[in-house]
Amino acid sequence: MSIKEDTCDPVNFQDFYYRQADALRNYVYYKSGDSGFADDTVQESFVRLWKNCASVPLSKAKSFLFTTATNLFRDMLKHKKVQLKFVERKSTESKVADPEFLLEEKEFKEKLDRVINSLPEPQRVAFLLNRIDKLKYREIAELLGVSQKTIEKRIHSALLVLRKEIGNI
Amino acid sequence: MKDIFKNDDTYLARWLNGALSEKELEEFKNSEDYQLFNRIADKSSNLSTEDWQKDQIWTQIKKEGGIAQPSTTSKPKVIRLGWTKYAAAVVIIAVIGYLALFRGDRLQTVQTYAAETKVIDLPDGSKAFLNAESLIQYNPESFLADRNMTMEGEVFFEVEEGSKFTVNTENGDVRVLGTSFNVRSRTKKLDVACYSGRVGVSFDNFENERALSKGDRVVAESGRIIANLSIEGELNRPEWRDGSTKFINASMDEVINELERQFDIQFETDSSIREIKNYNGGFDHNDLNAALEVVFTPIQYNYKVEGKRVILSKKS
């Protein structure tokens, strides 16, 4: 194995952590809605990866991490009600200081948050990995071990629920 | 309410990633709920999650896994409980720490996706211009002292005068004093062009170094130089900074990958076209159809654009 592929190399491992930790942490967060659990799962998944570094080359490490995290989530005894919190990135349109517009925007964001939290877990995870983490459908499918078509169906359904619930409120 | 996508359970997903055909999109735009869908898509792509304790978790992983310290950093005093404690429904998180004392390990990453470029002001006043699907990573706290960074993809640098400025890539390393140069590191190839000053290129951590002066360009594959070229008489910056790409003796595989990168599209084709060698030519980044025309017509291929997909077939 070349050094670039060697997961046991501490420099590679640190670099890999800093590249992958955000996506993994978000994935567990979307699934569990529990940020403490997400932190601990990231920690445990990477420690397990390190312990198995001799048999997992870097090219396989990402899928090892997501599989490990998924198993840890399944093993968690109690699932709490999902209460995801999101912040908005700096928006270019917020220069418009019309108070009515701003209030409307704020309400829309609150509705959006609420409906996202109420989505069934598979739909929510696929939708957020695409919207927030900007992963392509193919990438999400690979991480979750399902077909791209399945991901497209989940995102389609998520949008249908969002339209219905936001339209109704 | 009658949806035009009533019988299609992936329609909205394909709309969201731009894979609908122009005709479908036109029709969808005129439908009743288009505005609402569009707003949901916009607003949701603008969400992000709150910051988390990435550095502290890393410290904890190093400790628990017994991972050797790759660089010199101070040890923060943070205690976190393992996830197993959650299984026992214990939810106590104790963070005893002097976060202010925490230094190092904090890498800054800037990345571009397909059809995107970025300009980064580095802490020393130097500038990095990222082409599509590229990445730079550096430690903002040590950058002024070591001017060291890692990159992937293609980046043009304008370096302020000062101490050594080092760029590490998968395919080799480059270091300079004050100068401007372009580094393209894709698959196994490293392509470095020097536009002013002098730069050094190395494949063995600077035990051996190849010096480039203004106007020199080298291309290396798997750590060996395969071409020495001159950019004398060209502009003072690479073509991509002005919105075009030029290839000299490239494989069609590289050309196809660059088209996908610049236009955020995906080709569907058999693999034989990717093996065509010695391609000389280029394309502009502002018009997909014009780019496809100029690349594929001369090599006798037909192309068909369907949303974000481009289907290639050999002319019969």
Q: Is B157 exposed, middle or buried (0-12, 13-18, 19+ CB in 10 A)?
A: buried
Mutate: best of B14, B39, B44, partner A, most A CBs <10 A: B44
ipTM of the complex in this document: 0.85
Q: For the whole prediction, is pTM greater than 0.90? A: no
Which token pair is A89? Answer: 């990135």
Residue B229: strand, helix, or coil? strand
Which residues of B, range 57-116, sit inside 8 Å of A by Cβ? 57-58, 60-61, 64-65, 67-70, 80-87, 89, 91, 93, 105, 107, 109, 113
Rg (CA), chain B: 24
pLDDT tens track for B253-293: 999 999 999 999 999 988 889 888 888 899 999 999 999 99
B103-to-A15, A81, B48, B80, B234 alpha-carbon distances in Å = 17, 36, 25, 18, 44
Contact yes or no for B40 and A42 at CB 8 A? no
B210 and B220 in contact (C-beta within 8 Å)?
no
Q: How many interchain CB pairs under 8 A, A with B?
A: 155
Contacts of B52 (CB under 8 A, 6+ apart): A25, A35, A38, A39
Core vs surface per residue B175-195: b (16+ CB within 10 A) or e: bbbebbbbbbbbeebbbbbbb
- C-alpha B247/C-alpha B252 separation (Å) is 10
Option in B40, B82, B170 nearest A166 (CB):
B40
Q: Which of B154, B127, B147, B144 lies closest to B246 in space, CA to CA?
A: B154
Q: Given the structure tokens 């594929």, which residue do they identify?
A: B296
Nearest CA in chain B to A29: B49
Tell me the backbone φ, ψ of residue B164, rounded to 5 degrees.
Answer: -60, 140
- CA count, 13 A, side-chain hemisphere, B66: 2
Work out the widest C-alpha separation in chain A, in whole angstroms.
61
Give the confidence band of A129 by pLDDT, cuts at 50, 70, 90: very high
- pLDDT top residue among A83 and A14: A14
Residue B159's pLDDT is what?
A: 84
- CA count, 13 A, side-chain hemisphere, A149: 2
pLDDT tens track for B22-45: 888 999 999 888 999 999 999 998
Residue B178: strand, helix, or coil? coil
Which residues of B, range 144-163, sit inside 8 Å of A by Cβ? 150
**First-to-last C-alpha distance (Å) of chain B:** 47
Option in A25, A152, A156 nearest B52 (CB):
A25
Which token pair is A32? Answer: 């569990």
Range from B67-71, B87-91, B305-309 that averages highest in pLDDT? B305-309
